[in-house]
Structure 1
Amino acid sequence: MLTVTPVPRAPHTAAAFVACSLFAGGNAVGVRFSNRELDPLWGAAVRFGASALVLLAIMAGMRLSLPRGRALGGAVLFGTLNFGVTFALAYYALVRIHAGLGQTLLALVPLVALLLAVAQGQERFRAMALAGTVCAVAGVALASRASLEESVPVLSLLAVLGAVLSFAQATVLVKRLPPLHPVTMNAVGMTAAAALLFAGSALVGDTWRLPDRAATWWALVYLVVAGSVLTFVLFLQVVEGWGASRAAYVFVIIPVVTIVLSAWLDDEPLTLGLLLGAPLILLGVYLGALRPARQRDT
């Protein structure tokens, strides 16, 4: 007899999921504006360095203490994976991979998170989660007009798949670490990631300069405040309430938000693919993340 834990119905967790998806949906547009003026790794380093400073200031205002020992090491490892490795690989991959294919591959995060959580004894395998991921990935491919026939450099493909694996593992890792306030976890994690990204930026020879264009500054402000500080604090709350694999379904909502925002802010045309893909995405999210689980035999 196997008892499947029901999905928590706490309103604040569902609200955090929706808000996190909306805020994160603007990230790709913000990065697009940032990359027009700033080298990719340098832009990512500035983003997470500034975000870390904001979160450290919030920590001071809330009188939250810095973690020590295993908690400190866990927060550094989480940040290295979740922000440093993931975004270094993603920024590298998206130089050569079109956004549509990149979004489709990143939509695999819920499935990879589920498999990792099962392998590490955190969750039980759920057939509906697999079905939800398949529906969602198909919907994202339609909505983003990703072509599986396009020529993709092997290193770029490996980089984006590495980003998927890194983010999924960081999401699963959170549940195994000593509990920390989400602000503290992200403050320490982003500090560690910023150090890694600055080092990577220097290694590849990026030009270190501040933006000249107002649009780039506004993009960075969004990426820091909404796209990093608010998004990842909310995301950890969702992980705590729903678990790793369900929380990772933000990755299949994000493309829809991104496409709509890009049409509004960056003149990207809306297509029939969005109308066809969005219902599949929503069905996938319902099956994999929102559908109430019932006790059943396996």
Structure 2
Amino acid sequence: MSDRVPPAGSRWGFLLVPVLSVLFVPLWASGFIVGKIATGYLDVPAVLLWRFVVALVAMLAVAAVLRPALPRGRAWLHLAVTALLLQVGQFTFVYTGLSAGVPAGLSSLILGMAPLLVGLLTPLLLKARLGPAPVFGLLIGAVGVYVVLSDELGGGFGAAVVLPVLGMVSLTAGTLYQKRFNDETPVVTSVIVQMATSLVATLAAWPFLGASPWPSGFGGWLAVGWLGIFNSAAAFALMFLLLRWRHTVHVSALLNLVPATTALVAVPVLGEPLTVQALLGLGIALVGMYVGLGLVRRRRRPAEPPDGPAGAPPDAAVGAVGRET
């Protein structure tokens, strides 16, 4: 099995992309829901520890079958840096915020701003062209986030809302680093190196964290198992495959569905309230995201090759989250 692009007109290409796209959104959104549940059973460092352990074991099993190529030279270092940003940094901030009472839906909404932030920074760091659409989209999305925050800040978590913001910054930085240095790494190899690096970093910091490594109940084991297998190994592998088979704008459009999915699922599963003001802010933020990404796609489409083996050109990354989210 290869993670290269299937022929554009093949039956596999026609069937796999829609199926994987449908699976990707709930798997990615589940990280916020199950992450909130996991922090009720474990300390945040323990959630990270078991997430990385389970994901690493799962991907090593896949690697035993697929036998992907190993990184060469400095690629090892670049993958390690990406892992510290995308895995350790992002999820440390997100899980700490969830454990401090930040709602899962709000966390998802804040991190959902990363695609457009990547778009704004891409011309500066990756020398790609940028039109006005991502700027307008980010501004509209920021208004939506402000509307939600103005409703939620009275909920008792106050300054803790900064934590998912820092998680979003870490996600953005890791995405840009990945775009610059790790674009050609095989999917399975990339996930394995990320999880192994993150696990080593967590273990190295463990003596200073004062955390218990064990879940307080069976529900904790189920939660970390889900985070490791489905939200880490499976969701990241699906993202990488979709990015290989379609333009990055396609994946960013899917990521824009995550905040609404998370907010709606959090109501029955976590008992989080969904007020009219929160719905309004969520709607504004989603409109902003689609304005930025949708207009970029429409503008770029004549100049872009069709989805196929060549993958996305560098400027197709504008306004989109990259391979490692």
TM-score (norm 1): 0.80
Between the aligned partners of 1:182 and 1:194, the Cα distance in structure 2 is 18
CA gap of 1:249–1:288, structure 2 versus 1, over 3 A, is same
CA gap of 1:285–1:157, structure 2 versus 1, over 3 A, is closer
Partner of 2:71: 67
**Equivalent pair of 1:143/1:256 in contact (CA under 8 Å):** no
Between the aligned partners of 1:181 and 1:199, the Cα distance in structure 2 is 27
Unaligned 5+ residue runs, structure 2? 1-12, 303-325
Among 184, 191, 210, the alignment partner of 1:186 is 191
2:189 is aligned with 1:198: no
CA gap of 1:60–1:144, structure 2 versus 1, over 3 A, is farther
CA positional deviation for 1:189: 0.8
Amino acid at match of 2:66: M
Q: After superposition, what is the alpha-carbon deviation per residue over 1:258-277, rounded to whole angstroms, capped at 9, x for unaligned? A: 12222232233444346534
RMSD: 3.2
**Equivalent pair of 1:42/1:201 in contact (CA under 8 Å):** no
**Equivalent pair of 2:59/2:192 in contact (CA under 8 Å):** yes
CA positional deviation for 1:34: 0.9
Between the aligned partners of 1:146 and 1:77, the Cα distance in structure 2 is 36
CA positional deviation for 1:133: 2.8
Partner of 2:114: 109
2:231 is aligned with 1:227: yes
CA gap of 1:288–1:95, structure 2 versus 1, over 3 A, is same
Amino acid at match of 1:216: G
Between the aligned partners of 1:108 and 1:83, the Cα distance in structure 2 is 18
**Equivalent pair of 2:84/2:197 in contact (CA under 8 Å):** yes
- State which drifts further: 181-190 or 70-79: 70-79
CA gap of 1:116–1:248, structure 2 versus 1, over 3 A, is farther
**Equivalent pair of 1:42/1:198 in contact (CA under 8 Å):** no
SS of alignment partner, residue 34 of structure 2: helix
Amino acid at match of 1:195: V
Give me the identity figure in percent.
22
Unaligned 5+ residue runs, structure 1? 1-9
CA gap of 1:183–1:142, structure 2 versus 1, over 3 A, is farther
CA gap of 1:141–1:157, structure 2 versus 1, over 3 A, is closer
Partner of 1:276: 280
Q: After superposition, what is the alpha-carbon deviation per residue over 1:176-234, rounded to whole angstroms, capped at 9, x for unaligned? A: 2251111211111111012212333432200122x353322222222122211121122
Between the aligned partners of 2:181 and 2:277, the Cα distance in structure 1 is 41
Partner of 1:131: 136
Partner of 2:26: 22
CA gap of 1:143–1:35, structure 2 versus 1, over 3 A, is same
Between the aligned partners of 2:150 and 2:251, the Cα distance in structure 1 is 25
Among 43, 46, 62, the alignment partner of 2:47 is 43
Where in structure 2 are the equivalents of 1:1-298 lying within 5 Å?
16=20, 18-96=22-100, 98-99=102-103, 101-139=106-144, 146-147=151-152, 152-153=158-159, 156=160, 159-178=163-182, 179-209=184-214, 211-240=215-244, 241-243=246-248, 247-248=251-252, 252-273=256-277, 275-277=279-281, 279-291=283-295, 292-294=297-299
**Equivalent pair of 1:114/1:125 in contact (CA under 8 Å):** yes
CA positional deviation for 1:163: 2.1
Amino acid at match of 2:82: F
CA gap of 1:159–1:274, structure 2 versus 1, over 3 A, is closer
CA positional deviation for 1:74: 2.0
CA positional deviation for 1:58: 0.6
Corresponding pairs, count: 284
SS of alignment partner, residue 113 of structure 1: helix
CA gap of 1:57–1:146, structure 2 versus 1, over 3 A, is farther
**Equivalent pair of 1:133/1:288 in contact (CA under 8 Å):** yes
Amino acid at match of 1:268: E
CA gap of 1:146–1:235, structure 2 versus 1, over 3 A, is farther
TM-score (norm 2): 0.74
Partner of 1:7: none
CA gap of 1:122–1:285, structure 2 versus 1, over 3 A, is same
Q: After superposition, what is the alpha-carbon deviation per residue over 1:15-35, rounded to whole angstroms, capped at 9, x for unaligned? A: 655533321111111112111
Amino acid at match of 1:152: G
**Equivalent pair of 1:104/1:146 in contact (CA under 8 Å):** no
